[in-house]
Amino acid sequence: MKKFLVVTGLLLVLVAALAACAPAAAPAPAATAAPAVVAPTAVPATEAPTALPELSGDAIRGGVLYDHWMEALGVDAPADNQALWSTQTSNKRSGADSWRCKECHGWDYKGVEGAYGGGSHKTGFVGVKQVAGTDANSVLAALKGATNPDHDFSVVMDDQALTDIALFLSGSQLDSTAFIGADKKASSGDAAKGQTIYEENCIDCHGPEGLSMNFADDGGPEYFGTIASDNPWEFVHKARFGQPAVEKMPSLVDVGLSDAEYADLLAYAQTLPTSSPVTEGGHLYDNWIKATGVADMTENQPLWASQTTNTRTGNDTWRCKECHGWDYLGVDGRYGSGSHKTGFPGLLSSAGKTSEELLAALKGKDHDFSANLGEPQLNGLVAFIQQMQDLKPYINDDKTTTGDVEKGKTAYTANCASCHGEDGKSLNFGSDTEPEYIGTLTADNPWEGFNKIAYGQPGEPMIAGINMGWSWQDITDILAYAQTLPIK
Ligand code: HEC
Ligand code: HEC
Ligand code: HEC
Ligand code: HEC
């Protein structure tokens, strides 16, 4: 155990000597105090001596590591399950999940005595609530296997990471029992005040109604409001410490929120919607196989055989966009020629049809998607079709746009650069040899780019422009700027 002391050698000796002869426990920090970063300070010679040196580190980072230390540290999960995992049989997860602190001890820190006392997450393991307010040194020892050799995390994390977690557990846990009822509802808290907290800290990324990102990768949908309602303890933990590997998401502990204010934020978050049919429909139109996570299609779509110009097979033959186009014009638009040509009609003229008519079309004989998509999903597609835009006012035939590049640059920098990079090259949608970046895609196919910016990316927590409150013109501005980014 090393401590970062900025003291003279003499003082060091003195502190060490005092520590050696006085094994008293350190005064317990208040359980709910929020020491954002425990600064490495010198121990004044006059302060009461402690058994072990006071640990220094970052309790906020500790909270993030408690959530998912592998994601946060950017490391792969160990090959085997955590050693203690085999001592239980009720939780069927495996691999990385078996190594997450939260999986065994809970988002409410109560283990078997809390929300994970039943259901698929049940392990029967103890909570960690009881260590709040105790000496961080003894928590650190438990993380190194002092109480149980199978609970030794020093083999997978360095000392500083473990110290940060120990500081979180001893000094920065929040007991939410007072404001989260047994029915998961915020039992106290002022939603109006919570809205102000949301608008000051969360709205820029999560959008006016918390619908900008759909976190689900298996159909979902799962939005900001969904997590607040379904798992308020997870919500509060992430609000306090941030999201692993998402550096820009703030920690409200860092911001300095009081305990009562978490009740306010939760009360507000639970009023937010948990579905967004139009963007869900947009994801399905783009690629419903990816959006829902269903198995690959082995047969071609039945109507596929009625054309011969487009020689793709399998999943592609089932994508709405493949037959009806990114510009929604089918054979009358971009897919009227080239390798994507099928000769099938567009949908823009269907936008005015009633829900009943559109649902009937989606359940038609050779055009029946009801075997793979449920009622809410079909309704999402209907909602999407009914608000389809003619893209001609925004994108010209020569692929230039009517967007304002300068405005688009500002919006891109604020909303896209964190994931895609300032130059749009952080994420490569193509291959190493044939890279495809935002710049490449929007230059080649601005209609596809428009759809991605407006509705997001199926199966990825990418923001959907229309749920950020952006107009079609705002979306076109970003598209215009994206076209100026490097293509390789
Ligand atoms: C596979 C399940 C599992 C995982 C993962 C796990 N723990 Fe534990 N933890 C346990 C069990 C079981 C105990 C009780 C150990 C014993 O026998 O003393 C325990 C005990 C503890 C204790 C001591 C509690 C006390 O009352 O003294 C702390 C603190 C703790 N764990 C923190 C963590 C942290 C932090 C992590 C993540 C780095 C973590 N645990 C990951 C299962 C787990
Ligand atoms: C700078 C942008 C940004 C801000 C500001 C922001 N978030 Fe996030 N948030 C994200 C991103 C990106 C994700 C992660 C998506 C992913 O990869 O799963 C996320 C995920 C989350 C999740 C969890 C989703 C999951 O997968 O379980 C919660 C809960 C959350 N944020 C709450 C908040 C709260 C509360 C605030 C305001 C205090 C906030 N966020 C502010 C960007 C942000
Ligand atoms: C294999 C090509 C193909 C795929 C994939 C496809 N469609 Fe169609 N779609 C057609 C054809 C051809 C028609 C013309 C009517 C017919 O033959 O059923 C049509 C008609 C429609 C109509 C009715 C138009 C009207 O006004 O009568 C709607 C709505 C529609 N499709 C939506 C979708 C949606 C949504 C998806 C994705 C879930 C989809 N289609 C996938 C080929 C396809
Ligand atoms: C929270 C992270 C995040 C943010 C913010 C984000 N994206 Fe994305 N985006 C992704 C991910 C992840 C993918 C999927 C990458 C892949 O498929 O390899 C993606 C994919 C895309 C694609 C197309 C991929 C394809 O199918 O070929 C485009 C275009 C795109 N993003 C544009 C944008 C624009 C423009 C913005 C800002 C308005 C933005 N993204 C904001 C994460 C993000």
- Asked if residue 271 has its Cβ within 6 Å of ligand 3, the reply is no
The alpha carbon of 449 and the centre of ligand 3 are apart by a number of angstroms equal to 22
What is the pLDDT confidence band of residue 19, given thresholds at 50, 70 and 90? very low
Q: How far apart are CA 241 and CA 488, in angstroms?
A: 37
- Asked if residue 148 has its Cβ within 6 Å of ligand 1, the reply is yes
Burial pattern 382-402, b for ≥16 Cβ within 10 A else e, equals bbbbbebeebeebbeeeeebe
The alpha carbon of 304 and the centre of ligand 3 are apart by a number of angstroms equal to 11
CA-nearest residue, atom 2 of ligand 3: 323
Q: How many CB atoms lie under 10 A from the CB of residue 82?
A: 21
Q: How far apart are CA 210 and CA 304, in angstroms?
A: 39
The answer to whether residues 436 and 428 touch, using CB atoms and an 8 Å cutoff, is: yes
Which ligand is closest in space to the CA of residue 350? 3
Q: Does residue 29 have a pLDDT over 90?
A: no
- Asked if residue 415 has its Cβ within 6 Å of ligand 4, the reply is yes
Which ligand is closest in space to the CA of residue 194? 2
pLDDT value at position 16? 40
Q: What is the pLDDT of residues 93-112, one digit of tens each?
A: 999 999 999 999 999 999 99
Between the two ends of the chain, the Cα-to-Cα distance in Å is 48
The answer to whether residues 482 and 442 touch, using CB atoms and an 8 Å cutoff, is: yes
Q: Does residue 455 have a pLDDT over 80?
A: yes
CA dihedral 270, 222, 61, 237 (to 10 degrees): 30
Q: State which of 212, 248, 279, 427 you would mutate to test the pocket of ligand 4, scoring each by most atoms of that ligand within 8 A of its C-beta.
A: 427
Please state the rounded mean pLDDT for residues 401-420: 96
- Asked if residue 418 has its Cβ within 6 Å of ligand 4, the reply is yes
Scan for tokens 């820029």, then name that residue. 204
pLDDT value at position 51? 67
Which ligand is closest in space to the CA of residue 98? 1
- Asked if residue 240 has its Cβ within 6 Å of ligand 3, the reply is no
- Asked if residue 323 has its Cβ within 6 Å of ligand 3, the reply is yes
CA-nearest residue, atom 39 of ligand 3: 320
Q: State which of 67, 128, 155, 162 you would mutate to test the pocket of ligand 1, scoring each by most atoms of that ligand within 8 A of its C-beta.
A: 128
Q: What is the pLDDT of residues 215-262, one digit of tens each?
A: 986 667 999 999 999 999 999 999 999 999 998 899 999 999 999 999
The answer to whether residues 83 and 95 touch, using CB atoms and an 8 Å cutoff, is: no
Q: Does residue 363 have a pLDDT over 70?
A: yes
- Asked if residue 4 has its Cβ within 6 Å of ligand 4, the reply is no
Query: What's the pTM?
Result: 0.88
The alpha carbon of 427 and the centre of ligand 4 are apart by a number of angstroms equal to 8
Q: What is the pLDDT of residues 200-214, one digit of tens each?
A: 999 999 999 999 999
Average pLDDT, the chain: 90
CA-nearest residue, atom 35 of ligand 2: 239
The alpha carbon of 471 and the centre of ligand 3 are apart by a number of angstroms equal to 27
The domains found in the chain, sorted by start residue, are 177-269 (1.10.760.10), 277-386 (no CATH), 405-482 (1.10.760.10)
